[in-house]
Structure formats: C-alpha cells, structure tokens
Amino acid sequence: MNDMTRNVLILCTGNSCRSQMAEGLWNHLSEGKWRAVSAGSNPAGYVHSLALQVLHEINISLPEARSKHLREFADAAFDLVITVCDSAKESCPIFPGAKEPLPWPFDDPAHATGTDEEKLAAFRRVRDQIQERIKNYLAKQEER
C-alpha cells in the first residue's frame, strides 16, 4: 500500500451482506487506490453465503471475510464512510476522522423470500447496484 491509498469504511447493521459485498467490490474496482473495510453496528456474526457466492460469480473472493463490529475501527481515520442501509445511518456513530460521510441505502437481500433462485436473484441485483454506485463514485474521483 502506498501513501496515496485512501481508506473507506462501509457500514451496515449486520455486516453480513451489503457491506461485505461493497468491501469486496470496492477493493477490486479501486485497483489498490483505496482500502475498503466493512463493519456493522450489530454484527450478525457470519457472512451470508449468497453474498460470497454472487461475488465469486464475478471473480471476487473474500477468503478473510468475517462479520465485524464498528468498534474495531473507532480510532481509525477514514477518507470516506458509507452507510449502505437506513438503519445503519441512525445507529452508527459519527466518525470524526471521516472527510466525507455518504448514505447509500440498498435493499437487504437477506430479507428476500421465495425459491433459492429468487433469493440469489435478489443478491445479484443488490450486488450490481452496489457495483454501479462504486464505479460511478470512483470515476468521479478520477475526474478530479
């Protein structure tokens, strides 16, 4: 990691789906210019297998993935803090070291119902929405 690497913290409630997918996508898409970590205000204690599966489908693996509490990062400074669910926006503390806080609400695919294929489709849809949002953000950073 070089001195130009920027840090982003991605917050959610359970840190099992959306924030995990965003962490993997951000680290992949930023090509080393950013270091992304994720955490939750009330960690689920596991990473959802379908979140890992839909990342694997696009050649992103998270072998070290684990559900983390935001307290682990309380003393860290971040260039950007993103909340990926509305409940995290209310229950997550302000990170004074964050230069830029952004709310990016996404549906929680863990709440999807139906067949296994319908649940998988919900995870893919949210993965693709997160990926598009990150790509757009990183493209705007490149323009600066």
Q: Active-site positions?
A: 12, 85, 92
- What are the Cα distances from residue 126, in Å, to 54, 99, 132, 144? 10, 26, 10, 28
Distance spanning both ends of the chain, measured CA to CA: 21
If DSSP codes are grouped into helix, strand and coil, which group holds residue 91? helix
Rounded Cα distance between 75 and 133, Å, is 27
